[in-house]
Amino acid sequence: MTLRCCAALFVCAVILAGMFDVLDQLGLQMPMQLANADTVARDGANQIVAEVHGRSITKGELEQEVERHLAETLSHFSGEEKHALRKRMLELMIKRRLLLEEAVAAGLMPENREVESLLLDLEKELGSAESLQRELAKHSLDRTVLAGGVREDMAINAYLEQKVFKKISISQEDARRAWQQAPQKFTTPEEVRVRHLLLKVPSNAEADYIEERRQQAMRLASVAREPGVDFATLVRRYSEAPNAGKGGELAFFTKNQLDAAFSQAAFALQPGESSDVVRTTHGFHIIKMEERRGGAVLPFEEVQDTVMEQLRHLERERALQSHLRSLRRKHKVIVYYQ
């Protein structure tokens, strides 16, 4: 898919939120000036929830963005969660308004032909104009609304690239220094291969039964550590796990792939060692480490592009945070919604 089509799809996907996702991913938290709630209309779609440089954001506009977000993500929020979502969406709408205000002032709004060219590319990518219409209909949108969102999105992106991100430059020396300072961030994934013995415990088991199984597991853990004991044979005889017939062997896994307690115990072992009793939702486990691999620091040449991209993202984040703070001081922002 072309970059131009991706841009249009992005706008559609975030329901014309433009930079919402970008700003949110960067974790920006802009201070809000709270106004006296008595100055706000009590209800109705025309209730003003915020003002940016004298331009209002209404309750209706906010609710529209919230409902579209919920429909897009298929989310179902409680009252408290929805209130938090409204505050988050309003904050992002304010940030977008600030950036759009500057983009317009800088004369960066694209011409009609540029917007139309991008939409035609999108129609081709989707197969036809009808396909685009169907996609928009899913979000209760039409081509005119999409064009308006694309126009604003293009203007904001142009503004950010020309006025905020233009001077950001990451050198190879910067990347090498970051790699040297935190080599643990650039390693091959550490994986382990283990065997385990499981004594199952039902979720509704009574305390006496649980304790009985625990004591049995502790005895087996002690046996597993005796010299000359073959752990796989012990598993085949006592384990209640589906892989007991295979000696309890599991394929290589990383730290976050399995149950947290199981993984923590497994990764604490060295090859040949067996664990104490480990409790999970399945029951009581005894784990034996067979092999571990990975964790080696990757050569700089292999991760240079990744490091540079990470640094570039961090610098863009810092620049955007600083710029939004500056815009917040420049433009009067009042938030009524609490």
- In angstroms, the Cα distances linking 9 to 3, 12, 74, 251 are 10, 5, 18, 39
What is the domain-level CATH number for residue 265? 3.10.50.40
In this structure, is residue 181 part of a structural domain?
A: no
Tokens of 321: 């945070």
Same domain assignment for residues 225 and 313: no
- What's the pLDDT at 1? 40
In this structure, is residue 178 part of a structural domain?
A: no
Same domain assignment for residues 133 and 37: yes
What is the domain-level CATH number for residue 102? 1.10.4030.10
Give the whole-angstrom CA distance, residue 187 versus residue 302: 11
Residue 297's closest CA among 192, 173, 181, 171?
181
Under a CB-based contact definition with an 8 Å cutoff, are residues 197 and 284 in contact?
A: no
In this structure, is residue 302 part of a structural domain?
A: no
In this structure, is residue 239 part of a structural domain?
A: yes
In this structure, is residue 298 part of a structural domain?
A: no
State the total domains in the chain.
Answer: 2
Dihedral Cα 129, 132, 137, 142, nearest 10 deg: -70
- What's the pLDDT at 283? 97
Give the whole-angstrom CA distance, residue 114 versus residue 150: 10
Q: Which domain holds residue 40?
A: 3-171+307-335
Same domain assignment for residues 54 and 156: yes
Q: At what angle do helices 143-159 and 112-126 cross, to 10 degrees?
A: 120
Under a CB-based contact definition with an 8 Å cutoff, are residues 222 and 231 in contact?
A: no
Same domain assignment for residues 63 and 115: yes
Same domain assignment for residues 147 and 206: no
Taking residue 117's Cβ as centre, other Cβ atoms within 10 Å add up to 13
- In angstroms, the Cα distances linking 269 to 195, 245, 275 are 12, 23, 7
Same domain assignment for residues 111 and 196: no
Same domain assignment for residues 136 and 232: no
Same domain assignment for residues 18 and 167: yes
Q: At what angle do helices 172-181 and 300-330 cross, to 10 degrees?
A: 100
Q: What is the pLDDT of residues 71-113, one digit of tens each?
A: 767 667 777 888 888 898 998 999 999 999 999 999 999 999 9
Give the whole-angstrom CA distance, residue 308 versus residue 303: 9
- What's the pLDDT at 100? 94
- What's the pLDDT at 106? 95
Same domain assignment for residues 284 and 326: no
Same domain assignment for residues 79 and 116: yes
In this structure, is residue 161 part of a structural domain?
A: yes
Residues in the chain predicted with pLDDT less than 50, given as ranges, are 1-42
In this structure, is residue 182 part of a structural domain?
A: no
Same domain assignment for residues 166 and 55: yes
Q: What is the pLDDT of residues 274-310, one digit of tens each?
A: 999 999 999 999 999 999 999 899 999 999 999 999 9
